[in-house]
Amino acid sequence: MTIFYGVACILSLLFLVGCFFVDKKQNKWIMCIFISIFVCNSGYFITSISKSLTLALVGNSIAYLGNVFLPFFMFMLILDVCNIKHSKVLKYILLVIGLVMLFIATTGGYLPIYYKEVSLEILDGGSRLVKEYGVLHNLYFVYLAGYMTTMIVAIIYSVVKKKTNCKMKAIFLLVIVIGNMLVWLIEQFVEHQFEFLCLSYIVNEMLLLLMYGILREYEKKISTHKQESTHSANLSIIDFDDKFSEEQIAIVFEKWEKINSLTKREKEILKHMLLGEKRKDIAVNLFISDSTVKNNITNILSKLAVANRENCAELPKNLFNIYYNPMALCRWIFYWITKKCGL
């Protein structure tokens, strides 16, 4: 048992280092998740090699430090990936709740509120804590269940409302959350001597690294394909009568390099144009005169090198088809795996 915890601890450290190379954008929530998993597995390992109850309780507290804040970091990552806006107050409230939960969970051996009694059992494979749960132990169940339910609802909401720029990221995260929930539930109802969440966390790290590794190369392919299509004479055109969604406009602004030459006001007007608004409506919505809108549209057409406002909607359809088509991404994943494995 000690060997397994030790291997898990080493693997989580290696994955943490690997995250620096795979996630080039250095998403802070991804890094926090990997750090939490390493802290958690370190706590499990310390507990397993402990020869005294005091040291075992220290290891248990370290494990809870990772376990308590891991769902918080995962939730913030989901909000980030799913483009769900939230106030800073929410983040601070959740941090305070986490700190209170951590305090309660680490009172074992000192106060009989989380564990009524706790003792150390030394086996051939290592040491483990034998616990008799106290009145506030179910609070941790409510804490985790609340986070998991909220995360699943947030992911489903973002997919249904089309808030996320990449559905496959949301699906990856949904699989991770549900997987953790199932493992945790099994631990609650099946007697065990090994913390299976330890292995579940390692699998989560592998999935996260795989997700960001594959999607990074996939997005490079999309970018290259888009650039080639832009210079091609035979472009697939999106009809201007089809209004762009907020999600599509965000991608247009990100992928269409010429838009960077526009001023802030011109970008605002272009956004309203892509939403299908008429010139007078744009003037009313932006609290500017009709002539100002007209002059800005002229500048926009000139900078984007298009003949009229209808042509502002001309973008390669494959920019959206590839990015939002799950089957296309699945084919790319299969290609990526076979390429890396030399098949």
Domain-located, residue 221: no
Which pLDDT score, from 0 to 100, does residue 236 have?
34
Which pLDDT does position 228 carry in this prediction?
A: 47
Pair (17, 165) in one structural domain: yes
In a domain, 267, yes or no: yes
Ranges of residues in the chain with a pLDDT under 50 are 226, 228-242, 314-327
Which tens digits make up the pLDDT trace of 177-196? 787 777 777 766 766 666 76
Residue 337 has which token pair?
A: 């795996």
* DSSP-assigned beta bridge partners for residue 120: 129
Same domain, 200 and 236: no
- Domain shared by 291 and 186, yes or no: no
Same domain, 42 and 139: yes
Q: Is residue 218 domain-resident? A: no
Q: Do 273 and 127 lie in a common domain?
A: no
Last residue of a domain, one of 144, 177, 212: 212
Which pLDDT score, from 0 to 100, does residue 55 have?
92
Q: What's 163's DSSP letter?
A: -
User: Are both 208 and 235 inside the same structural domain?
Assistant: no
Q: Please check whether residues 59 and 199 belong to one and the same domain.
A: yes
Inside any domain, residue 217? no
Is 219 part of a structural domain of the chain? no
Domain that holds residue 312: 226-339
Question: Residue 286: which CATH number?
Answer: 1.10.10.10
201 and 233 in a common domain: no
- Which single residue is written with the structure tokens 């989380």? 114
In a domain? residue 154: yes
Point out the domain boundary residue: 159, 190, 212.
Answer: 212
pLDDT value of residue 99: 95
Q: Same structural domain for residues 334 and 279?
A: yes
**110 in any annotated domain:** yes
Q: Are residues 172 and 267 in the same domain?
A: no
Query: Based on the structure, what is the number of domains in the chain?
Result: 2
CATH number at residue 87: 1.20.1070.10
Last residue of a domain, one of 212, 239, 265: 212
Claim to verify: residue 289 and residue 186 sit in the same structural domain: no
Q: Is residue 19 part of a domain?
A: yes
- Looking at the fold, whether 30 and 79 belong to one and the same domain comes out as yes
Pick the closest to residue 125 from 4, 305, 214 (CA basis). 4
What pTM value is reported for the model? Answer: 0.61
